[in-house]
């Protein structure tokens, strides 16, 4: 049931126009009743307020008519009353209510993140297994580049690669494992190159017949230089390595180039053929660190000179013959543990037969 349009008390002490649907902005003052009593004439609702000023004095309140026709002064109660400082009028949409701040879940702990805002990811822990693989890869590279222990380095590199690979499938940061695999691959290539170089050097050394000797100690003359030729082309000569060279072997004249400081083998001919040199003594130097080229030569020379008179039959100072040693070089000393000195007696003129007991 709707209330008909009219002036009604809005609860604030004034009359407000109700258009049948809602309160309007038109207000009027409430008329005060006459002290003489109620009148007999009933008060009818005023006309539409649009045709009247908004501040026109208010008409009498509608009232019920008594049986005698006199107007009942009892005020009309409107269907809706505005509370003081109300937010709207009867019929207006009710304002939505909101829960208090304390009603939100987790309000005591803090505010929730705004919808749509990215939540920062928690920091990831460093993979311990990845760090182990990276460290092993570095150690493996170092070991694999040292030829004597290269096998150990290759094994460590293999273990480091497997550990680094496994760390990629575990929780934690991935960079240690990836870096470890990269170091392993790089180290493998580097170690392989070092190994090939080492093998190449060893192959070139092993291609020689044996330990090397230094030919620089042999005195040379102009006459001997004129007759020098390739040792391998000497008629009847057989190339013999130093570890096979024995006392009594006769050697034809050989003139070496000044740049040739190492000899792997020498020509040996039967002593009844023309020759100039002969091996008369062979001994080993004491073990230890390589003493240096000059020290080696002095030791070899003194050792050979002491044995000269016992082989030739005449002291070195009184003899027309001369001597020189084939001594170890630093390379043969370190690589092959070569300590052997070959003592050579030679004649400035070609001879046939052995110089042993020649007494000249």
Q: What pLDDT, in 10s, does the model give residues 204-225?
A: 444 444 455 655 445 555 544 4
Three-state DSSP state, 15: strand
- 323, β-bridge pairs: 345
Flag whether the pTM goes above 0.85: no
Q: What's the CA gap between 165 and 307, in Å, rounded?
A: 68
Contact indicator for 265, 241 with CB cutoff of 8 Å = yes
pLDDT (tens digit per residue) in 65-84? 333 344 444 454 555 544 44
Three-state DSSP state, 271: coil
Contact indicator for 300, 214 with CB cutoff of 8 Å = no
| CA 153 centroid distance within chain | 19
pLDDT (tens digit per residue) in 246-291? 999 999 988 776 666 677 888 999 999 999 999 999 999 999 999 9
The ranges of the chain with pLDDT < 50 are 37-44, 46-47, 50-74, 76, 81-93, 95, 97-110, 112-113, 204-210, 216-217, 223-228
pLDDT given at position 162: 92
In degrees rounded to 5, what are phi and psi of residue 320?
Answer: -90, -5
**Strands across the sheet with 213-214, in order?**
213-214, 322-328, 340-351, 275-284, 250-251
- 6, β-bridge pairs: 18
Task: Give the dihedral of Cα atoms 153, 288, 295, 328; nearest 10 deg.
Answer: -60
Whole-angstrom CA distances from 273 to 98, 242, 267, 276, 357 are 127, 21, 13, 10, 18
How many Cβ atoms are within 10 Å of 194's Cβ, its own excluded? Answer: 16
């Amino acid at each position: 049931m709707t209330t008909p349009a009219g002036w009604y008390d809005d609860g604030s002490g004034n009359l407000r126009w109700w258009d049948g649907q809602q309160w309007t902005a038109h207000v009027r003052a409430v008329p005060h009743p006459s002290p003489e009593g109620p009148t007999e004439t009933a008060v009818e609702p005023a006309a539409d307020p649009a045709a009247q000023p908004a501040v026109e004095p208010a008409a009498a309140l509608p009232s019920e008519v008594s049986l005698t026709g006199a107007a009942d002064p009892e005020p009309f109660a409107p269907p809706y009353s505005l509370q003081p400082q109300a937010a709207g009028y009867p019929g207006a949409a009710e304002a939505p209510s909101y829960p208090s701040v304390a009603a939100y879940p987790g309000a005591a702990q803090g505010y929730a993140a705004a919808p749509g805002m990215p939540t920062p990811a928690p920091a990831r822990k460093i993979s311990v297994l990845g760090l182990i693989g990276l460290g092993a890869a570095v150690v493996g590279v170092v070991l694999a580049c040292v030829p004597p222990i290269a096998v150990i380095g290759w094994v460590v590199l293999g273990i480091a690669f497997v550990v680094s690979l496994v760390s990629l499938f575990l929780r934690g940061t991935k960079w240690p494992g990836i870096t470890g695999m990269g170091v392993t691959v790089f180290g493998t290539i580097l170690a392989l190159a070092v190994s090939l170089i080492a093998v190449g050097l060893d192959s070139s050394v092993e291609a020689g017949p044996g330990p090397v000797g230094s030919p620089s100690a042999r005195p040379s003359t102009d006459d001997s230089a004129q007759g020098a030729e390739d040792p391998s082309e000497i008629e009847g000569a057989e190339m013999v390595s130093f570890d096979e060279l024995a006392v009594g072997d006769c050697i034809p004249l050989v003139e070496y180039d000044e740049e040739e400081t190492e000899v792997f083998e020498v020509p040996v001919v039967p002593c009844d053929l023309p020759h100039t040199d002969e091996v008369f003594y062979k001994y080993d130097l004491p073990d230890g660190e390589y003493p240096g080229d000059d020290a080696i030569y002095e030791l070899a020379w003194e050792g050979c000179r002491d044995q000269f008179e016992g082989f030739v039959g005449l002291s070195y100072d009184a003899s027309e013959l001369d001597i020189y040693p084939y001594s170890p070089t630093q390379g043969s000393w370190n690589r092959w543990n070569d300590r052997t000195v070959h003592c050579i007696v030679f004649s400035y003129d070609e001879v046939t037969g052995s110089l042993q007991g020649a007494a000249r």
